[in-house]
Amino acid sequence: MFAQSNGNAYQAYFNRYHRMAVEQMAKYGIPASITLAQGVFESAAGRSRLATVANNHFGIKAGSTWTGPVVYADDDAPSERFRKYRSVADSYEDHSLFLVRNKRYAGLFRLSMRDYKGWARGLKSAGYATNPRYAEQLINIIQAYRLDRYDHLSLRDVRRQTTASQTTAPIDIGQIGCCNGSCYVRTQRGQTLRDIARNFDISERRLRKYNEVPKGYKPAEGEIIYLEKKRSKADKSLKHHIHIVRPGETFHTIAQRYGIRLKTLYKNNGLTPAAHIQAGQGLLIR
């Protein structure tokens, strides 16, 4: 896959610029996953001549209305004019404005911010790039690096990560994911439910309820902690799926793994909270 062949450079790019993408999403309603995928692809992970000389991460050309500085580069034709920016942040901002102000992209803003496939295909259909595989390449990048997890964040989430006090264990945005439609964070060493609750502006009591754990519960390093209520059913793709219990697993860890409530797991298997499970046992997930 194209994205995998650029592994380390791509991941470094996302680590460096994901906050900018989420900020743009909060301001203009453009999925952060799309902004990141376009940025990393158009700029060759920040290593292209346009990116290094002009801070241009999105390959935006300098049309007749552009009054700022320019650089020249070969593209569809030799020595074409491209916009030059003072900073990468200016490039991200201008990319958003370019989409917002251009009527041919208006249809994109009627799509859900969670519909990255629709956005990728819409960009290609609207003529953002001449590459016939442009939409497919963006989608491949998003899926390979799970960039859609950033589409579930708010600007407040990112700012809280940056400004959290030293007494609160920091949460790496890269540790955030989604399962069965519910977002979660994987805990770091020594991190408590109170730490997570503070960072995401959720009451500790509610966090315990979401994760079905008692007061005073201490999560282990790397444990999944949901930031919103889990679903009552597993994803449709798991219909008739049997989970084989591994050593050390519990009803709770299995429910967390699939993003479902404990009562669902018990009900699916005709069991009660008093039941015991053992390694090798099969449990119906949906």
Q: pLDDT tens for residues 37-94?
A: 999 999 999 999 999 999 999 999 998 889 999 999 887 778 899 999 999 999 999 9
- How far is the C-alpha of 37 from the C-alpha of 129, rounded, in Å? 13
In tens, the pLDDT along 192-228 reads 999 888 766 688 999 999 999 999 999 998 899 998 8
* Residue found under tokens 């797991």: 265
Residue 171: the pLDDT is 38
Q: Does residue 151 contact residue 119 with C-beta atoms inside 8 Å?
A: no
Task: Find the helix or strand (DSSP H, E) in which 183 lies.
Answer: strand 182-186
Give the pTM: 0.56
For residue 122, count other CB atoms closer than 10 A to its CB: 20
Rounded mean pLDDT, 99-116: 91
Q: How confident is the model at residue 160 (pLDDT cuts 50, 70, 90)?
A: low
How far CA 280 is from CA of 241, 244, 268, in Å, comes to 15, 6, 18
Q: How confident is the model at residue 158 (pLDDT cuts 50, 70, 90)?
A: low
Helix (H, G, I), strand (E, B) or coil at 152: helix
User: What does the buried/exposed string (b/e) look like for 183-192 if buried means 16 or more CB atoms within 10 Å of the residue's CB?
Assistant: bbbbbbeebb
Rounded mean pLDDT, 241-249: 93
Residue 166: the pLDDT is 32
Q: How confident is the model at residue 2 (pLDDT cuts 50, 70, 90)?
A: very low
